[in-house]
Structure 1
Amino acid sequence: MAEEFQLKGYVSNDELGVVILCQGENVEDFFKEIHRRNPKSSEIIFSKIKKIETTEIFENFYIKPTEKNVVIDIPLTPDFATCQSCENEIFDEKNPRYFYPFTTCTQCGPRYSITKKFPFERENTVIEVFKMCPNCLAEYRNPDNVRFHSQTNSCPNCGIQIWLKDNQGEEFKGTNKDIFEKLTEELSKGKIIALKNTAGYLLMCDATNSEAVSELRKRKRRPTKPFAVLFSGISIMQEYLEISELQIQHFKSSESPIIVTKIKDKKDLAFDEISPNMNSVGAMFPYSGMLKLISKTFGKPLIATSGNFHGSPICSTTEEAEQILGKIADFFLHNTLEIHHPQDDSVIKFSPKHQQKIVFRRSRGFAPNYFFAEELIELNQEKKKILSLGGDLKNTFTVVPNNHVYISEYIGDLANFETYERFEKTVKSYQKIFNFSPEIILKDLHPKYENQNIISKFSNFQTQEIQHHKAHFASILGEKKLWNKEKVLGIVWDGIGFGTSDEIWGGEFFLFKNQKMDRVAQLENFAWILGDKMSKSPKISALSISENSEDLKFAFDENEWKIYTNLIEKSEVKTSSMGRFFDAVSFVLGNEKPIFFEGESAMWLEKISQQAFENNIKFTDYLEGENFENIPTKKIFSKIMEEKKSGRNAGEIGLNFHYTLIKAIEKIAEKFEVKELAFSGGVWQNALLIDLAIDVLGEKFMLYFHEKLSPNDENISFGQLNYYLNLK
């Protein structure tokens, strides 16, 4: 563009971002045109132009290397999906990069996953070990080439190598094309492969082969949690799934997340094994060269799930994969790319009626940047370096090492030792990248969260505890920039969070007013027993809430009944958990199967209730005419039990349960004369609940839902930061 505008000078990265020093008559036009023609993968968050005095005279326009030892203060670049131009080259038989899966340019390819330190220059990435051949170097130096200064530039002659071996260690010899054709042959036989993608290993098998999918479930120890399905293109997706134009835009974006969407036609796919008891599936578009080659060569949909044992972090090295996945995969497709920041795929959904975006998992493509946090940076007047540890389940952490906010990729459940190790390793990586040590550490009120173990690794810092649900509320206040509002009601519903020494919170209402955050209402408490067992066995929640426990006696053996009823009667610990309330309702409406993953029973309840919603039944508010300060848990549950006994359809009862909760929000909001409602917590991943909220509350109130962050515990670390800077 500079040559087009006949400018002379240079462009470079410095500690503040992109700096352009140029001379010529068309500088103003050039500046405006940058904003109009900036690449889709770029994010201009601030810009200015000014005249400076200089004695330099330039002969041309060039790229000036970043100065050594500059302290960089710019966002980290996330991984980008492969662009159409590079994809064309991969499948062009006459192109030197034919079947080369790591074909990239300035507009696409891995970034964050391969970054060792700032700035994003080749020498600061794991690509540094691959020295460019003469052809690649010529592209790199040519301003007219799409790979001009592409830091990830490589080709089959000088770049990343792939190799295929079976789980007995026997290696298959051949070209890249031969390797992918061999994989296709083995996938057709029902084999399971572990494929090293750009951010970690994926486990894959034929999605049309029910026996292969069942075998993968058995080996991975993942009985019921849905698998994602990789489709070779949008047109193939549309044969099986309901795909909107909005979803297509996201599939084709530089982030290219997995999108959970409704099944339209099962056709030949093994959907009963892929997504047991559900009517939706996570669809994946092939965003990398590896995925494009495997899906195009195989020609049919493929399971593509994280390469790990259930609950462990995604594998990223050859040794790790063969050791951990050796009992799962029949074949390994390895490569020589080192992955510095392993990441799971990001997952989103759009609510069926209002197309409200819901983030299930924020990771590859989105992490680690959080744009538009200027207010937070301004509040940090002392320029303190801050580390927010987040929660223990669905962990992320947030750091403020400079004038930007960085939220880590989804890390997972820190109760798993390997996941905790990944958490600690990633924190250390951020310390190295940003050259910082925390001066302020923010942590949850829970005294036994695993992430607090890392505190002993630091020195010379202050700590502050922030209650779990207040962090949730602070997170949505921060995301939607609501801290300057006069009054906001926060509806924070999730599974559990440490409230006080004798209360587990989870169904909370907070009023933000006069720069104070107060808990003003809740789901009425019920007995909390048996710790984590309660979240894995919904019948226990049902028994705890029920006022007529004899109706549930069928679900317990004699010993269980005696122990559980006694524990409930004597329990000193109470809970307001909305998550456990959903579990209880799901159980009595027919979902009596064991729970194998968090949210499983609530997802089933949402499914049957959504079906009733689409049948346009008339809603019933189970609390109509009632006056209450807190949502009366037992009263609603008794109504549901009565409806069930009367023979009413379970889906209709479930829908009325959802509707009753939304009407309860309305009554509490009117009581406190609030016009602005903000929603956070894992329960707000429920798309039906969101659509009903928009239908029922949308005209009376301003509604705010998470869109950049997940409503679940992934947002806790960002909320801790917001709470500290706004309410300290």
Structure 2
Amino acid sequence: MAPQRCQPDHLGPLQGWRLRISGQVQGVGFRPFVYRLMTAAGLSGRVFNDAGTVVLETLIRESQLAGLIRDLQRQAPALANIRDIVSQQAPELLDILAPGFVIAGSPHPLGASIDVTVDTAPCVDCIADIRDVSNRRYHYPFTNCTQCGPRYTLIRQLPYDRPNTSMAAFAQCPACLAEYSNPADRRFHAQPNACPVCGPQLTLVERDGTERFAQPEAGGSDALLIRVLKQLREGKVVAIKGVGGFHLACDARQPLAIQRLRQRKQRPTKPLAVMVADADQARCWGHFNAAASAWLVSPQAPVVVVPQAHAARIFHTDALNQLAPGLDALGLMLPQSPLHRLLFDLAAQQLDDPDLALVMTSANRSGEPLMIDNQVALDGLADIADLWLLHNREILVRNDDAVINAMTSQPLLQRCGRGLAPLSLHLAAPASLPSVLALGSYLKNSIALNHQQLACLSQHIGDLDHPDNCRALDDSWQHWLPLLNVKPAAVATDLHPQGYGADLAQQLAAQWQVPLVQVPHHQAHIAAVLADQGWPFNDAVAGLALDGFGLGWDGHSRGGELLVLEGPEFRHLGSLASLPQPGADSASREPWRMAAGLLLTLGYAPAQIRQHLQVPSDMALTMLERQWQRGLNCPQTTSGGRWFDALAGILGMCTDQHFRQTYEGEAAMRLESLARDYLREHGEPALLLPHLPESQSANLDLYPLLQLLAERYWAGMPAGQVAALFHVQLVSWLGQWLLRHFDLDPLLPPALVLAGGCFQNSLLRQQLADWLEQHGIRALLPRRLPVNDGGLAIGQLWVASQRLQESGNQQSDP
């Protein structure tokens, strides 16, 4: 119960108390909430931001303190996430605090902080405001309050106050300032607060250079938005500046418009996300289980990947073939800002088009960072977009859409982005943990940083094979260190000695004179899941890492590893059998190469391979055979992903045009969809090889399985049945192989980490987890982190922290 205004003396004297409230408590209306709570209780004091915490200083009787803390926790704003409230007696406050309660400015210098508030979609109250014709924010596309709107993408530095954001460029009008200053208003201290009179405005730029400006009045942007909608309905491509960057949009119901966008962006087959008006519309396109539905309507507004709805396949067959070629899944999202919300409202009200569906794909060229600057978008998208919908609110931090894979009942984060990034984790570690800057992976790069037990994962940065993404990585760590006010005691990176991340790690470690910690790729994959699961430091556990590539501790290409992690160290128990990669990196992009290498290893003659395998040419196969025979540019790999590619090559997948996958994981994703379609229609097929040979103990040899599946396919078995058989056989053999290792090491806890990009495959993930559970082994999967390389930085940080802690303990021992 909250402290009462009138309190009898027998409850004890007033004392000075300082409460430090940590968690997601900035940018969510927490200080105004505290103000209202304390003034209602008649308590004196002040509340202010300090780095990533909120500090409440007050005069209160000790007997009432527990009730105050309880009210802070129970009545906090919806977007707040209180992690901890630490109370401390502060007698000096008796002489400092004046009567009454105030929201005070932040102290300087600030302490370290890992909690940064994320961007969120418009709340129901703000949506009501922009739909209310009598409201001064009617149809204003930058409406927000303390419970919604942009946060992280606007922040220059902490604390989260308006002068420290890109909204500092917009002076509030008297009406907005009155809201901002009124404790009873939900926009009290809403830092991005604005209206048509004083806030950001829209501009529409056409391909011929014509500029159209929104009028600074309620509903003044309608004309621009209606023109955009008409152009979209005519099949045009529009660049739209959103919250964390630009989207390229077109009508998702028009195959020719989608094809035009693909051709211009040079993105021939990679799946495209679709934005629809509401959850009912989303269910016309995809199947949503309870978890998927919750994510779809959440304030984070991510892209939610779900199975395609049968109705969508009937009514939008041609469009679906363009949106997600060869796949049975589709990424769907709801409007993520008032601007997007208005597009759908105006389509329904002004154009009688309530079923509007828009492709929303990141506005960048293939492999490059997301665009956030107006002029960069105008120049860089000149041959892609037909018109540009711009605004003058500067985006300080690029943040792509978050992606949730919800193909099963247990959704998995596939890309950490807007609404979820930065993502904070509490490590089950000693409070004195040293700070580590982890620079992540070569592909799907993100970075991580911790302050004591709190770790933070950045937004998706991209693949470091492009110089602009390398610059984006620099931008990220250079923004983070002063923003979070953390000085790293070490730099962690992947074990691979080459690439921009490795070079940067060496430079920073030398510059700061701190240790450089290199972490083997697959150890980091497993460690990331342990960090996410809150696994205690130093407790041993086994983990299976399946992915496409990671340099092993032995200098070889690996990707199918069974390890036991014991604190900062690991033991290698076994691997998948190795496969040849004729052409090295080219083999990871061209499945026919993996298939040919597999068949050559199995003893098939080139003439037999030509008869059964689709190859670019006889000459290409002859050259590949020579590479394989001589071992030239033909490294071996234990990669789980390459086994999927080999079967995809046998089935003739990705043999269009240049015989290449047009995006990472395309062959495996198509194989998964093919298998799921078969299982949905026919049920699970009987195993061809139910018992794993006794000889397979240390390593798991999949050659016999692939040979049998290839021969069945050549004998006429449908490709869908082959794909389904591969999945169920692989799960059975993996399970049996894993059980043998658990039997050999009975001291291991009955739990197994599943990590690595192969577990983005929902069939493999769900079936293997179920198989293990049925045999008494708990499957540990990430709950909040990406299972792919996007979460690798947290694993690097987890291992590096333990190594530093261990070395520090050894140095301090007598």
- The two structures share one fold, judged by TM-score above 0.5: yes
Kept after mapping to 2: 8 A contact 1:379/1:726: no
CA distance in 2, matches of 1:94, 1:560: 70
Kept after mapping to 2: 8 A contact 1:230/1:284: yes
What secondary structure is seen at the aligned counterpart in 2 of 1:323?
helix
Deviations 1:66-124 (Å, cap 9, x if unpaired)?
Answer: 12332343411111221111111112111111121111111111111111111111111
- The one-letter amino acid of 1:129's match is A
CA distance in 1, matches of 2:574, 2:780: 19
761, 777, 780: which one aligns with 1:704:
780
CA distance in 1, matches of 2:41, 2:258: 57
| 1:362/1:329 CA distance change after superposition, 3 Å | same
573, 582, 585: which one aligns with 1:529:
582
Deviations 1:680-708 (Å, cap 9, x if unpaired)?
Answer: 10000010112211332212211111121
1:509-520 aligned within 5 A:
509-513=562-566, 516-520=569-573
Q: Does 1:29 align with 2:57?
A: no
- The residue aligned with 1:589 is 651
592, 595, 603: which one aligns with 2:669:
603
Measured after TM superposition, the shift of residue 268 of structure 1 is 4.2
| 1:226/1:15 CA distance change after superposition, 3 Å | closer
- The one-letter amino acid of 1:327's match is D
565, 570, 593: which one aligns with 2:625:
565
Q: What residue ranges of structure 2 are gaps of 5+ in the alignment?
A: 1-36, 215-219, 348-353, 743-747, 805-814
What secondary structure is seen at the aligned counterpart in 1 of 2:549?
strand
Q: Does 1:683 align with 2:755?
A: no
Measured after TM superposition, the shift of residue 623 of structure 1 is 5.8
CA RMSD of aligned residues (A): 2.0
TM-score normalized with structure 2 length: 0.85
CA distance in 2, matches of 1:16, 1:98: 34
What secondary structure is seen at the aligned counterpart in 2 of 1:709?
coil
334, 337, 362: which one aligns with 2:393:
337
- The one-letter amino acid of 2:221's match is N
CA distance in 2, matches of 1:31, 1:392: 45
Which is greater in Rg?
A: 2
| 1:320/1:9 CA distance change after superposition, 3 Å | same
CA distance in 2, matches of 1:670, 1:515: 25
- The residue aligned with 1:672 is 741
| 1:662/1:606 CA distance change after superposition, 3 Å | same
Kept after mapping to 1: 8 A contact 2:432/2:452: no
- The residue aligned with 2:767 is 692
- The residue aligned with 2:368 is 312
Measured after TM superposition, the shift of residue 210 of structure 1 is 1.1
CA distance in 2, matches of 1:718, 1:75: 16
- The residue aligned with 2:686 is 619
Q: Does 1:186 align with 2:253?
A: no
What secondary structure is seen at the aligned counterpart in 2 of 1:348?
strand
| 1:50/1:619 CA distance change after superposition, 3 Å | farther
Measured after TM superposition, the shift of residue 577 of structure 1 is 1.0
450, 472, 478: which one aligns with 2:531:
478
Q: Does 1:128 align with 2:173?
A: no
- The residue aligned with 1:252 is 297
| 681-690 or 437-446: bigger deviation | 437-446
- The residue aligned with 1:555 is 614
| 1:563/1:500 CA distance change after superposition, 3 Å | farther
What secondary structure is seen at the aligned counterpart in 2 of 1:20?
strand
CA distance in 1, matches of 2:361, 2:101: 46
Kept after mapping to 1: 8 A contact 2:173/2:197: yes
| 1:514/1:720 CA distance change after superposition, 3 Å | closer
CA distance in 1, matches of 2:712, 2:249: 44
CA distance in 1, matches of 2:539, 2:740: 16
CA distance in 1, matches of 2:517, 2:646: 35
Q: Does 1:449 align with 2:499?
A: yes
Q: Does 1:2 align with 2:32?
A: no
Q: Does 1:575 align with 2:637?
A: yes
| 1:224/1:33 CA distance change after superposition, 3 Å | same
CA distance in 2, matches of 1:499, 1:263: 38
Q: Does 1:284 align with 2:340?
A: no
- The residue aligned with 1:48 is 86
CA distance in 2, matches of 1:17, 1:515: 31
Q: What residue ranges of structure 1 are gaps of 5+ in the alignment?
A: none
Q: Percent identity?
A: 27
1:360-371 aligned within 5 A:
360-371=414-425
Kept after mapping to 2: 8 A contact 1:165/1:171: yes
| 1:57/1:344 CA distance change after superposition, 3 Å | closer
Measured after TM superposition, the shift of residue 484 of structure 1 is 5.1
1:61-140 aligned within 5 A:
61-140=101-180
- The residue aligned with 2:596 is 543
Deviations 1:369-393 (Å, cap 9, x if unpaired)?
Answer: 3232252x6362xx4x421111110
Kept after mapping to 1: 8 A contact 2:580/2:597: yes
- The residue aligned with 2:23 is none
CA distance in 2, matches of 1:525, 1:555: 23
CA distance in 2, matches of 1:184, 1:129: 30
Corresponding pairs, count: 722
What secondary structure is seen at the aligned counterpart in 2 of 1:38?
coil
Measured after TM superposition, the shift of residue 656 of structure 1 is 2.2
248, 256, 260: which one aligns with 1:211:
256
TM-score normalized with structure 1 length: 0.95
Deviations 1:378-431 (Å, cap 9, x if unpaired)?
Answer: 362xx4x42111111000111235663221110011101111111111111113
Measured after TM superposition, the shift of residue 608 of structure 1 is 1.4
491, 495, 498: which one aligns with 2:544:
491
| 1:100/1:549 CA distance change after superposition, 3 Å | farther
Q: Does 1:157 align with 2:197?
A: yes
| 1:454/1:393 CA distance change after superposition, 3 Å | same
Q: Does 1:295 align with 2:344?
A: yes
Kept after mapping to 2: 8 A contact 1:622/1:639: no
CA distance in 1, matches of 2:710, 2:779: 32
- The residue aligned with 2:468 is 418
| 703-712 or 399-408: bigger deviation | 399-408
| 29-38 or 109-118: bigger deviation | 29-38
- The one-letter amino acid of 2:645's match is D
Kept after mapping to 2: 8 A contact 1:528/1:573: yes
What secondary structure is seen at the aligned counterpart in 1 of 2:456?
strand
| 1:379/1:480 CA distance change after superposition, 3 Å | farther
| 222-231 or 356-365: bigger deviation | 356-365
Deviations 1:336-380 (Å, cap 9, x if unpaired)?
Answer: 11111111100011243xx112111011111113232252x6362
